[in-house]
């Protein structure tokens, strides 16, 4: 029997969703709603092992048949109920399901593990319903997108996908270049647990920056494997498991990867992401896989972060047009050009047939003496030094992070004033310089430690001297990964995350070099202790070499558009 509060929620929820839907329609300038909506809540859909996956169904109030959209979420159904309501108002019966172990669904939530089997069971259940007419779409951003890739090879003929700001493979998102995305995992742990146990309180914490403040504080505690108790007040089995099994363990990731399912038979998908989305490069990799397989997916990239309201609005709008075209036959709903990207700096949108929209050619700037970036290696050769102390870690400022507050483009003045951050800046540009894609970094470095990190960031310095971050990347060094020369100097080469930016005439290009961005990435403590159990800290003396013998440089993908 339902509790009185549950019954009251059932009664008020359709009214609340309807009011919220009107607000969202206006905020994002969506097409007007076409139907009223009937809601069925807490339907028990059986998984293969018999546990119940709680599911809500939003049905247009119309006697005709309607295509079905599926959303599977670990974030609770309440928040996505408004989205489901909107899709139903536009003619799509929407099946909204809580993932295993969340929001009342049975079993235990284990990230990335059960979405294949539970998704397949949900598809079979849908096919058995008398209201299902064969037209099916899947939709949702972030983890909801991953849940779609997990079953994309099992969708019926004529299906469509709308997987946004996501990836079919999370290994390089969690462990970029062998570093550990601590802020992502620690903040996400709080988010999933909070939305499940204290919905309204967690929503307030997300809006006020409390998640970021708590993450920053907890991330300073060691050992990291025990940070779950500080974050959510209890042991998290999957948090502990990841520290024990996910690091340098290919079979762990093989079981959670769905990249192999993206091929010529994949249903059509529209991609939406942001230049400051932490999953950007992996999202683009999935896009390129489908292009290589012969598809013409749509791609939209704005100057957005992972949790940006404008990104959420674009996801809604693009899903409505994509599903209307592919499930309702309304091809006029699609824009003429499949690719639409925002170019910062010049602050304009560009539409094209492909990504990148035009061929790029590298333009290389070399690190030189006196903190300068030049078109030729400096003479005489030299080096730049600094000390990285994990007890006082170099902080992260903005960027492509998982955060509800503080992500994206930010003023880097305070960061660049630190003694453990070095900058190299070119002369004012004589003309606009447009880059689209991944800048590449070559650094020749030497460290007093075998275990250390190097973090690099590309910035735009405007006419007033304000340095704004465009893209960045981290590289973790450990024995056997790089081969030092006779002087102990190692050559590092790696890409920054993708961007589309115009360095305007008179602006300057700047490259930051440091050895951390905390708590975005877990501190490299300088020892060979495992990440989860390490407690000892050792400071590292770092050298960056430049000149003809060691031509450290940044290569920019210049695009003539």
For 294, the domain range is 4-173+259-352
87 CB-near residues (< 8 Å, 6+ apart): 58, 69, 94, 139, 319, 320, 323
Distance CA 263, CA 253 (A): 20
Same domain? 151 vs 70: yes
pLDDT of residue 98: 98
- CB-CB contact of 13 with 81 (8 Å): yes
pLDDT of residue 375: 96
> What's the first-to-final CA gap in the chain, in angstroms?
64
Question: How many Cα neighbours within 13 Å face the side chain of 201?
Answer: 6
Please give the structure tokens belonging to residue 34. Answer: 């076409």
pLDDT of residue 294: 98
**SS3 string of 22-63?**
HHHHHHCCCCCCCCCEEEEEEEEEECCCCCEEEEEEEEECCC
pLDDT, tens digit only, all 561 positions of the chain: 343 334 334 444 455 677 888 888 888 889 999 999 999 999 999 999 999 999 999 999 998 899 999 999 999 999 899 999 999 999 999 999 999 999 999 999 999 999 999 999 999 999 999 999 999 999 999 999 999 999 999 999 999 999 999 999 999 999 999 999 999 999 999 999 999 988 889 999 999 999 999 999 999 999 999 999 999 999 999 999 999 999 999 999 999 999 999 999 999 999 999 999 999 999 999 999 999 999 999 999 999 999 999 999 999 999 999 999 999 999 998 999 999 999 999 999 999 999 999 999 999 999 999 999 999 998 888 999 999 999 999 999 999 999 999 999 999 999 999 999 999 999 999 999 999 999 999 999 999 999 999 999 999 999 999 999 999 999 999 999 999 999 999 999 999 999 999 999 999 999 999 999 999 999 999 999 999 999 999 999 999 999 999 999 999 999 998
CA-wise closest residue to 499 among 449, 435, 421, 425? 435
254 lies in some domain: no
Same domain? 140 vs 160: yes
H-state helical runs in 353-455: 413-416
Same domain? 340 vs 368: no
Q: At what angle do helices 77-89 and 4-27 cross, to 10 degrees?
A: 60
The enclosing H or E element of 81 equals helix 77-89
Task: Among 352, 387, 418, give the residue marking a domain's end.
Answer: 352
490 lies in some domain: yes
CA-wise closest residue to 176 among 443, 520, 557? 520
Same domain? 242 vs 120: no
Q: At what angle do helices 182-197 and 237-245 cross, to 10 degrees?
A: 160
Tell how far CA 14 is from the center of its chain.
Answer: 31
Same domain? 23 vs 89: yes
253 lies in some domain: no
Same domain? 308 vs 237: no
**CB count, 10 Å around CB of 327?**
20
Please give the structure tokens belonging to residue 347. Answer: 């602050």
Question: How many Cα neighbours within 13 Å face the side chain of 188?
Answer: 19
- CB-CB contact of 29 with 43 (8 Å): no
Three-state secondary structure call for residue 321:
helix
Please give the structure tokens belonging to residue 187. Answer: 């903040």
Task: Among 352, 368, 394, give the residue marking a domain's end.
Answer: 352
Task: Among 217, 246, 275, give the residue marking a domain's end.
Answer: 246
Distance CA 298, CA 142 (A): 17
129 CB-near residues (< 8 Å, 6+ apart): none
pLDDT of residue 19: 83
252 lies in some domain: no
60 lies in some domain: yes
Please give the structure tokens belonging to residue 357. Answer: 């929209």
pLDDT of residue 24: 87
Same domain? 418 vs 518: yes
| Number of domains making up the chain | 3
Same domain? 123 vs 219: no
- CB-CB contact of 451 with 529 (8 Å): no
- CB-CB contact of 174 with 184 (8 Å): yes
Three-state secondary structure call for residue 261:
helix
399 lies in some domain: yes
pLDDT of residue 15: 53
Distance CA 110, CA 239 (A): 9
412 lies in some domain: yes
- CB-CB contact of 226 with 136 (8 Å): no
Same domain? 199 vs 329: no
44 lies in some domain: yes
| pTM assigned to the model | 0.95
H-state helical runs in 153-292: 171-174, 182-197, 199-208, 210-218, 227-232, 237-245, 250-254, 280-292
Same domain? 301 vs 416: no
- CB-CB contact of 470 with 499 (8 Å): yes
Same domain? 195 vs 224: yes
CATH assignment at residue 285: 3.40.50.1820
Total residue count of the chain as it appears in this document: 561
Distance CA 73, CA 86 (A): 17
Same domain? 198 vs 307: no
- CB-CB contact of 107 with 38 (8 Å): no
């Amino acid at each position: 029997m339902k509790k009185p509060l549950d019954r009251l929620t059932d009664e008020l929820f359709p009214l609340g969703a309807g009011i919220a839907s009107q607000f969202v329609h206006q905020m994002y300038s969506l097409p007007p709603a076409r139907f009223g909506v009937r809601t069925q809540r807490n339907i028990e859909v059986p998984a293969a092992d018999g546990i119940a996956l709680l599911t809500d169904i939003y049905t247009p109030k119309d006697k005709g048949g309607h295509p079905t959209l599926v959303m599977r979420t670990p974030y609770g159904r309440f928040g996505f109920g408004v989205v489901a309501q909107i899709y139903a108002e536009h003619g799509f019966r929407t099946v909204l399901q809580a993932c295993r172990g969340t929001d009342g669904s049975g079993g235990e939530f284990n990230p990335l593990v059960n979405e294949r089997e539970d998704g397949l069971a949900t598809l079979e259940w849908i096919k058995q319903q008398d209201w299902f007419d064969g037209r099916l779409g899947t939709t949702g951003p972030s983890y909801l997108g991953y849940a779609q890739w997990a079953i994309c090879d099992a969708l019926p003929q004529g299906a469509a996908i709308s997987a946004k700001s996501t990836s079919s493979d999370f290994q390089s998102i969690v462990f970029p270049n062998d570093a550990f995305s601590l802020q992502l995992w620690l903040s996400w742990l709080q988010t999933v647990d909070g939305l499940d146990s204290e919905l309204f309180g967690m929503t307030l914490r997300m809006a006020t920056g409390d998640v970021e403040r708590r993450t920053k504080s907890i991330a300073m505690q060691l050992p990291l494997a025990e940070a779950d108790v500080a974050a959510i007040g209890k042991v998290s089995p999957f948090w502990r498991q990841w520290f024990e099994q996910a690091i340098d363990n290919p079979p762990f990731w093989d079981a959670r990867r769905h990249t192999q399912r993206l091929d010529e038979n994949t249903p059509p998908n529209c991609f939406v992401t942001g230049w400051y989305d932490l999953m950007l490069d992996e999202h683009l990799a999935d896009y390129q896989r489908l292009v290589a397989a012969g598809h013409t997916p749509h791609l939209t990239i704005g100057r957005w972060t992972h949790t940006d309201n404008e990104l959420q609005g674009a996801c809604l709008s693009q899903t409505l047009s994509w599903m209307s075209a592919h499930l309702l036959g309304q091809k006029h709903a699609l824009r003429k050009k499949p690719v639409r990207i925002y170019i910062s700096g010049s602050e304009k949108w560009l539409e094209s047939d492909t990504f990148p929209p035009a061929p790029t050619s590298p333009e290389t700037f070399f690190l030189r003496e006196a903190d300068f970036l030049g078109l030729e290696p400096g003479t005489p050769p030299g080096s730049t030094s600094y000390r990285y102390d994990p007890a006082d870690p170099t902080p992260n400022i903005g960027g492509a992070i998982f955060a509800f507050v503080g992500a994206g483009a930010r003023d880097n003045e305070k960061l660049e004033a630190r003694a453990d951050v070095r900058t190299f800046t070119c002369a004012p540009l004589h003309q606009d310089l447009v880059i689209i894609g991944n800048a590449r970094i070559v650094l020749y470095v030497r460290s007093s430690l075998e275990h250390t990190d190097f973090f690099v960031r590309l910035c735009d310095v405007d006419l007033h001297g304000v340095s704004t971050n465009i893209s960045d990347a981290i590289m973790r060094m450990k024995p056997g990964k790089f081969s030092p020369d006779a002087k102990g100097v190692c050559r590092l080469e790696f890409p920054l995350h993708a961007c589309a930016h115009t360095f305007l005439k008179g602006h300057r290009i700047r490259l930051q070099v440091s050895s951390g961005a905390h708590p975005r990435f877990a501190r490299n403590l300088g020892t060979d202790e495992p990440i989860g159990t390490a407690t000892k800290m050792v400071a590292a003396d770092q050298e960056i070499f430049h000149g003809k013998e060691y031509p450290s440089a940044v290569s920019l993908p210049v695009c003539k558009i």
